[in-house]
Structure 1
Amino acid sequence: MSKNRQLKEVKVAEIREKMEKSQAIVLAKYQGLTVEEDTKLRKKLREEGVEYKVYKNTLSILAAKELGHEGIVEFLEGPISIAFGYEDPTAPARVLSDFAKEVKKLELKAAVVQGEVYNADKVKQLAAIPPREVLLSRLLGSFKAPVSNLAYLLNAIKEKKESEEA
């Protein structure tokens, strides 16, 4: 086996491992970004725990097919970058979408979220979902509201009885 083929097999295994580990994979067309814009994007992605890579499309296609993600193969044409979200499945889409609003050259192509393939429109919808922490705080707030209201009600009843007895 040639050394070149061995290197390619190692790279495919690396891509497959990242895809397997990810909760979300977002593909974006990055052609036309300046080095400064790309550096800024990578920094934002890192802050959200997202890994951002550019691989040869043929190697990415092989890895995707091995994992059964044939649906994204059609989007792996031209200069495509891949964002791997390991913790928050909405983070890669949200960061890339926000950046694409600032820098029109970046274009969302597709995503795979927990095994389901999304086109560019669905990726934008996914990006609109708030981060996990925000959703949890909203949930806790909705649990707390009825309890707080009950406490206020009980306190008002107690104060009313005390004023009637006095």
Structure 2
Amino acid sequence: MSKAIEMKSAVVSEIVEKLNKAQSVVVVDYKGLTVEEVTDLRSQMREAGVDYKVYKNTLVRRAAKEIEGEAYSNFNDEILVGANAIAFGYDDPVAPARILKGFMEKNPNKISLKMGVVEGEFYNEEKIVALASIPSREVLIAKLLGSLKAPMSNFAYLLDAVAKSKEEEA
């Protein structure tokens, strides 16, 4: 085998490993980004534990064919064209979509979400945008705790008010 073929097969193996390991994969069209914007995006991704990488489309299509299931069958010649980058989310399945959507809002017309796979299910552009609007796990837990705390604290205030009114009567 030639050296070029060996290098390409190594990259395909790397992509397959990442696709299998990731809880979510988001494909983004990244035309027109400056070096500073790419650096900012990559640092945001790194902080969230997300891999953000640019691969050749042909290598990504080859890797997608090696993965079982229908989720990656949409990584084909029709959709996976142009300048694409892939964000691999390992811990938080919503993190790549949320970071990319936030970046899109700050830098309009620079990037666009194309598609993704979240926990083995294919997501088109609309589903990815909807997924990105889900708050983080920490925010959801804080909201849950806040909603649980409110009735208890209201009950405590009620008991305190009853106790004070009884003291005033006596």
Q: What TM-score comes out, normalization by structure 2 length?
A: 0.88
Whole-Å separation in 1 of the counterparts to 2:105 and 2:39: 16
Whole-Å separation in 2 of the counterparts to 1:161 and 1:152: 14
Does 1:81 find its partner at 2:59?
Answer: no
Whole-Å separation in 2 of the counterparts to 1:153 and 1:56: 65
Whole-Å separation in 2 of the counterparts to 1:15 and 1:142: 42
Aligned-residue CA RMSD in angstroms? 1.6
SS at match of 1:88: coil
Measure how far apart 1:128 and its partner are: 1.1
SS at match of 1:18: helix
Deviation string, structure 1 residues 58-115 (Cα, Å, up to 9, x no partner) = 1111222222321233432111100011122111111111212232121111111111
Q: Kindly provide the amino acid, as one letter, of the partner of residue 20 in structure 1.
A: N
Whole-Å separation in 2 of the counterparts to 1:75 and 1:87: 26
Whole-Å separation in 1 of the counterparts to 2:154 and 2:79: 51
Whole-Å separation in 2 of the counterparts to 1:51 and 1:108: 16
Deviation string, structure 1 residues 105-140 (Cα, Å, up to 9, x no partner) = 211111111111111122111111111111111011
Q: What is the correspondence of 1:9-28 to structure 2 with a 5 Å cutoff?
A: 9-28=9-28
Q: 1:72 aligns with which of 60, 75, 80?
A: 75
Q: Structure 2: any 5+ residue segments left out of the alignment?
A: none
The aligned residue for residue 94 of structure 1 is: 98
The aligned residue for residue 50 of structure 1 is: 50
Q: Kindly provide the amino acid, as one letter, of the partner of residue 70 in structure 1.
A: S
Deviation string, structure 1 residues 32-78 (Cα, Å, up to 9, x no partner) = 21212211111122122211000111111122222232123343211
Which segments of structure 1 move beyond 3 Å, counting only runs of 4 or more?
none
Q: 2:140 aligns with which of 126, 135, 138?
A: 135
Tell me the matched-pair count: 165
Whole-Å separation in 2 of the counterparts to 1:39 and 1:143: 41
Q: Structure 1: any 5+ residue segments left out of the alignment?
A: none
SS at match of 1:150: helix
Query: Given the superposition, is the C-alpha separation of residues 142 and 31 from structure 1 closer, same or farther in structure 2, using an over 3 Å criterion?
Result: same
Residue identity (%): 55
Measure how far apart 1:160 and its partner are: 2.3
Whole-Å separation in 2 of the counterparts to 1:158 and 1:62: 73
